[in-house]
Amino acid sequence: MRTWDISGLSVEPSQPLVIDSEDEGRAILIQLRAGEQLSEHQVHERAWLLVVSGGIEVSDAGGEETVAGGSGLFAQFAPNERHEVTATEESRLLLLLSPWPGEGHPSNQES
């Protein structure tokens, strides 16, 4: 068994911290300042995003649907689903990606 106190780990804004990475998945801790964004993007893997502390708004591509929430908000994105995350206050997020790396990820390209 391995454990982490994700509320106590040191992570700087704009410098995500990979806390674990295996073939089955990757766990990344992200610290965002109030107003900071993860601009519209997508990942190759299925993604789960948990708000550990603070508050965020999550929007789908084009901003047609936006959900706001704080500590405990848990969002799931399909592989390649475009989305945007905006911190409404200083926020700590846990991002889980599976599998790692996903199909189409640049590190998975054959020569």
Domains of the chain: 17-102 (2.60.120.10)
Average pLDDT score over residue span 49-59: 97
pLDDT digits (tens, 9 = 90+) for 62-77: 778 999 999 999 999 9
In this predicted structure, what is the pLDDT of residue 39?
Answer: 83
Each residue of 82-97: pLDDT tens digit? 999 999 999 999 999 9
pLDDT surpassing 50 at residue 111: no
Q: Torsion angle of alpha carbons 97, 36, 88, 51, nearest 10°?
A: 20
What is the per-residue pLDDT for 74? 97
How confident is the model over 9-30, as pLDDT tens digits?
999 998 999 999 998 999 999 9
Q: What is the pLDDT of residue 16?
A: 96
Would you state the pLDDT for residue 9?
Answer: 95
3-state helix, strand, coil in the chain (%, to 5): 5, 55, 40
pTM given for the model: 0.87
Q: What is the mean pLDDT of residues 33-54?
A: 92
